[in-house]
Amino acid sequence: MAPDAVELRTVGRRVPQLEGADKVTGRAVYTPDVVLEGMAHGAILRSPHAHAEIRAIDTAAARAFPGVLAIITGRDLPGIPYVHISKFSDRFPLAREKVRFFGEEVAAVAAETRAIAEEACRLIKVDYRPLPAVHEPEDALAPGAPEVNRAPADTGERNVALKFSRDFGDVAKGFAEAALVVEGDYRNGVVSPVAMETNGTVARWEGGRLTLWTATQAPFYIRKEVAHVLRLEPACVHIKPVAVGGGFGGKAKICEQEALAAALAIAAERPVRLVLTRYEDLVAGKTDHGKAMRVRTAVDAEGNILARSSSLLIDNGAYTAFGPVYVAAARQRTCNLYRVAAAHYDCRLAFTNKVPGGAYRGMGAPQIIWAIEDQVDEIAERLGIDPIDYRIKIANRPGDVTPLGWEITSCALAECLEVVRERLGWTEKRANPVPWRGVGVASMIHPSAGVLYEEGNYANVGVELTAEGRVRLATMTADAGTWQNTMLAQLCGEAMGLDPTLFEVIHMDTEASPVDLGSAASRVTYVTGNAAADAGRRLVAAIGAALGARYGLGSVAAVIMDCKVHLTGLNRPPLDLAEVFQAVGPLRVIGSFSTPATRPDPETGYGNYAAAYCFGAQGAEVEIDPVTGKVRVLKLVAAQDVGRAINPTAIEGQIQGGVVQGIGMALSEEMVFEEGRPVTTSYLDYKVPRFDDLPDIEVVTVDSIDAIGPFGAKAAGEPSINATVAAIANAVANAIGVRMRELPMTPERILAAIKARDGTPDIATRPFTRRKNFRVAAVRSLYPSLVFPALRTFGPRLAGPETAPVARAPHSYPRSVAEALAHLAEDPAGSKIRAGGTDLSVGIKQGIYSPAAIVDISRIASLAGIAATADTLTLGAGARLADVARHPDVPRLAPMVVEAIGQLATPQIRNMATVGGDLCQQKRCWFFRSALPCYKLKGATCPCFAVLGDSRNHAILSTERCNAPCPADLAPVFAALGATAVIASPAGERRVPMDGFYRWSGEPDIAPGEILTAIEIPVRRPTTATAFEKFALSKGYFGVASVAVSLDLAEGVMRRVRVAMGSVSPFPERARGAEELLEGARPTPALIAEAARATVTGALPLKPAAYKTGVLVGLTERALARATG
């Protein structure tokens, strides 16, 4: 019987996630939830340098700190590097002679509390000698580059960890005979998995045995590596089951905290919890690899691909973790999708002073397929073929052998493309283009389980009959949220004829389960899943054998139906599983599976890699905002050949999740570095997709019933990301006629592409109409050679001693403004006011605030009031944003305030943050927020890092020493409304118009000891029209640019025109030139356009922020049109 004709009872059902009830009730226990008797808390001291020699480490002061239990440095460990891939083993759990990236682990502390451990880390004195660092792979290969890490002897090149070059087939002939060659250079930066649960471990050392609870995908690797670096017997290391909050590759092998938690537990003789903060996870968690790719594709006149050549330069980071595997995976990605006759691949893996690259979903496929599919689209266009027709023509088909020797068996790629064509509305949308909209399509291929480590190609699963009549399934691989446990129960249950709800699945446990490599490389469904099915069959056979023996009948065949065991051919009543257990006692069997495919040649990479391959196609429809450059995905259809859907709910969720990670990779996710230090260290700056950025993701699974996969299934979860970037990029190309060559396709890159396409000149800003810009321009011209080096070198030393961060400043809770003023008067300069706390709490952790005392004004009822008179609306400074927006009077009297609050922060933050807090929050500059020693943080002797760094978010108007813009959305709104700030001081109350509320530098003009108490807004007149326009990368994020307009329109004439700009200047600057043009005039499109252009008169943007001039002009036009429309 053909496998697809078998009647399935369990496979194919939407079985709820086995752990789902625990997760929706909060009962599931994750690593940070593990509490052990006597548990201590760990913290890690990390390198503040991208590259430095460690001359000495002095831990004396830290050891003497009360509550410290143990401190370890590199010298306290056995001096054994991680195995990773043994030839490339180059990293110790703690740095020894050198640190090679910002955030590298230098020492670890165990203490009674996390706060004490962190404080002790600060007390450890490390004597560093900074060394020249290399941040980009191209620079690492340049002559004379500093050596980041020792290259293996066989590469013969400085900073090259691995190089590879080979032809598969006759590549030269392919290019020689080509009718058409397309080529391009493609580039992607560093992206990060950022699972919602950060990496973390709880370790216990007891009686010579180490027990770990750890957020990992692969306990197998944790046991192996921890035992290795701590010189323990692997059998003495026990990984326990725990819920794991996402992995995506970031937890695919050892991270660093496992070994450190273990070493601390041994040193402290106490259990230790070591859970990384989000900052640490973003700074030191392994990332995907940055790449530069040169790709060429040769086709004949019909479009048959004769050859492809791919040259890659891959960023390895400072140590080798996954790099060599990535080089091999990248090779596969370049030439196996579609029918390609011959392929060349060469690659260099370069060391840089960055966090080591790791594994991330797709292992390079999303970006490499982006390059390939960009060229496939270009070929289709140049040959005049419909892109989907062309893809179907060149699609892989069963029986194909690819240039790398992959033998294609089950394959439904052409079917997936047809599904996308129909569901996306492709034909109609391509035929009827809408301006600024586009549709694009892309395909993917992925090995269904293929691992370069031999252990990845087999699996064992244990199953056991329990006294309660259930089946306990034990697997060493971890379910990090993929529903693997549910699917393994379904597969085993299908093999047994048993309902999956009768299963208990124990994952991860290295003692309860037989060996399995773990959840990585798309192997669990296929390899472990087959082992689970095998285990089920064996358990049924074992039941039959045991019952037969029990009844003296010899071995008999058992069949399970309706949860009962029937013995074939015997006239005995069926037994339930509990009765079986009573009759025969415990039964435990191990099922196993070994992938039948031959292995590729390890040197060349040639050979069939996996027993099956997955395929899929995705189609995207996008819309681009020509003013802001923002790409919005309107529709996304993913059709995927999954072999057979074991659990449609699980697979749809996996595919939807992979697609959304792909959308992030395509449009917004990117690590930004300054001096090798990541400055994108929060979710505000490292921008993962949110609800409001996205459409519903439409998923169609296509069955191809694989002959070897369990019940016909293939891998499905990981590869769903593979085609997304390419589909979106092709849709963008369809919309704007430009092929983007750098990821992510951020707004400023899109705007630059449109500008280059049209040859649009820069907007004339006439910067020197502002006289101080002469000085600013002169200083900037000297910045690279003189100003920056001098200030960077000497500034921090001259700035005085480091201010010690205050772990916990004393708080006071006054009940009245007078009481608050009295508290402030005790230490005016050292005190900070806390209202909603949404900025202060964060800023203290970031090291930008170090108050000696905090005056919490949240309990002063008078500050939270909202009141209106005939002509004034008064918002208390302590009024929460949500309360302002909901207040019955505010929409009527000052609708623009409500409009702005709707675009400000998240619902949770609006419930906490206050009006005064919005106005008084610190700047959001990512250099400042990373506590780089900058002018704003450290004072006049220090430089502004934006001048030479990535200043895409910075101000374009009125900057001097600091280039950070005003982040407060309400500031331009209040300025446009002509509002007045009320400030209480010991001498009495004073009123300041919003125009004068900020100093030139953007600091509120509030003296130490004073409190902002209210904002008074003139109420809207019947003729008043207002509009607020803001552009942010995501709804509620801090603005890229905003503009608030208020004017009176009576008898067709504009009066009392106020235009105030946000996020483009250190303060909410009024656009006086625009106001003058509009005042007393009748609104016409031409006048509005002219006035909008006048907003940027005098702008002197840093180059990366120059796109903001166009954004500001466009937003102003929109706001004026809306207000006068």
Q: Which is nearer to another protein, 339 or 845 (CB)?
A: 845
> Judged by CB under 8 A, which of 766, 775, 797, 811 binds another protein?
811
> Judged by CB under 8 A, which of 9, 278, 632, 792 binds another protein?
278
Q: How far is the CB of 334 from another protein (least distance, A)?
A: 27
How open is the CA angle 220-224-228, to the nearest 5 degrees? 170
Rule CB under 8 A: say whether 63 interacts with another protein: no
> Judged by CB under 8 A, which of 148, 255, 821, 909 binds another protein?
909
Contacts of 1075 (CB under 8 A, 6+ apart): 1057, 1058, 1059, 1091
Q: How far is the CB of 911 from another protein (least distance, A)?
A: 5
Phi first, then psi, for residue 724 (nearest 5°) are -70, -50
User: Which burial class, exposed, middle or buried, applies to 115 when counting CB atoms under 10 A from its CB (0-12, 13-18, 19+)?
Assistant: middle
> Judged by CB under 8 A, which of 67, 425, 805, 865 binds another protein?
67
How far apart (Å, rounded) are the C-alpha atoms in residues 261 and 281?
16
Residues 171-210 close enough to bind another protein by CB under 8 A? 193-197
Token pair of 1030 as six digits? 């803001």
Token pair of 215 as six digits? 């957020």
For tokens 């530069």, the residue is 292
How far apart (Å, rounded) are the C-alpha atoms in residues 665 and 688?
8
Kind and range of the H or E run holding 1069: strand 1069-1070
Contacts of 110 (CB under 8 A, 6+ apart): 40, 41, 42, 68, 69, 70, 71, 117, 264, 265, 267, 268, 270, 272
How far apart (Å, rounded) are the C-alpha atoms in residues 832 and 810?
11
Q: Pairing mode, if any, of strands 613-624 and 437-447?
A: antiparallel
Rule CB under 8 A: say whether 245 interacts with another protein: yes
Count, residues near another protein per rule CB under 8 A? 91
Q: Which is nearer to another protein, 27 or 125 (CB)?
A: 27
Rule CB under 8 A: say whether 17 interacts with another protein: yes
How far apart (Å, rounded) are the C-alpha atoms in residues 605 and 930?
42
How far apart (Å, rounded) are the C-alpha atoms in residues 305 and 977?
63
Q: Which is nearer to another protein, 776 or 904 (CB)?
A: 904
Q: Which is nearer to another protein, 808 or 1103 (CB)?
A: 808
Residues 821-840 close enough to bind another protein by CB under 8 A? 837-838
Q: How far is the CB of 929 from another protein (least distance, A)?
A: 10
Rule CB under 8 A: say whether 1026 interacts with another protein: no
> Which residue type, as a one-letter code, is found at position 799?
A
Q: How far is the CB of 548 from another protein (least distance, A)?
A: 41
Rule CB under 8 A: say whether 1000 interacts with another protein: no
Q: How far is the CB of 111 from another protein (least distance, A)?
A: 8
Phi first, then psi, for residue 1069 (nearest 5°) are -80, 140
Rule CB under 8 A: say whether 66 interacts with another protein: yes
Residues 937-996 close enough to bind another protein by CB under 8 A? none
Residues 708-767 close enough to bind another protein by CB under 8 A? none
> Judged by CB under 8 A, which of 350, 376, 480, 725 binds another protein?
480
Closest CA to 824 of 847, 857, 863, 850: 857
Rule CB under 8 A: say whether 112 interacts with another protein: yes
Closest CA to 411 of 403, 423, 421, 402: 402
Site track for another protein across 18-37, x = CB under 8 A: -xxxxxxxxxxxx-xx-x--
Q: How far is the CB of 243 from another protein (least distance, A)?
A: 6
Residues 669-698 close enough to bind another protein by CB under 8 A? 682-684, 688-692, 694, 696-697
Q: Pairing mode, if any, of strands 853-856 and 811-812?
A: parallel
Q: How far is the CB of 707 from another protein (least distance, A)?
A: 29
Rule CB under 8 A: say whether 621 interacts with another protein: no
How far apart (Å, rounded) are the C-alpha atoms in residues 408 and 477?
27
Site track for another protein across 778-807, x = CB under 8 A: -----------------------------x
Q: How far is the CB of 1032 from another protein (least distance, A)?
A: 12
What residues pair up with 576 in beta bridges, in sequence order? 564
Q: Tell me if 325 sits within 8 A of 109, measured CB to CB.
A: no
The secondary structure of 582-633, three-state, reads HHHCCCEEEEEEECCCCCCCCCCCCCCCCCCEEEEEEEEEEEECCCCCCEEE
Number of H helices, E strands in the chain: 34, 41
Residues 483-512 close enough to bind another protein by CB under 8 A? 483
Q: Which is nearer to another protein, 912 or 975 (CB)?
A: 912
Interacting stretch for another protein, rule CB under 8 A, among 149-157, 456-464, 651-659, 1054-1062? 651-659
Residues 844-903 close enough to bind another protein by CB under 8 A? 845, 854, 856, 858, 882
Q: How far is the CB of 478 from another protein (least distance, A)?
A: 11
Site track for another protein across 138-177, x = CB under 8 A: ----------------------------------------
Q: Pairing mode, if any, of strands 105-111 and 209-214?
A: unpaired
CA 626 centroid distance within chain: 26
Q: Which is nearer to another protein, 28 or 779 (CB)?
A: 28
Q: Which is nearer to another protein, 838 or 963 (CB)?
A: 838
For tokens 């285990």, the residue is 535
> Judged by CB under 8 A, which of 207, 602, 761, 808 binds another protein?
808
Rule CB under 8 A: say whether 64 interacts with another protein: no
> Judged by CB under 8 A, which of 149, 409, 661, 1063 binds another protein?
661
> Which residue type, as a one-letter code, is found at position 801?
P
> Judged by CB under 8 A, which of 162, 243, 312, 404 binds another protein?
243
Rule CB under 8 A: say whether 1036 interacts with another protein: yes
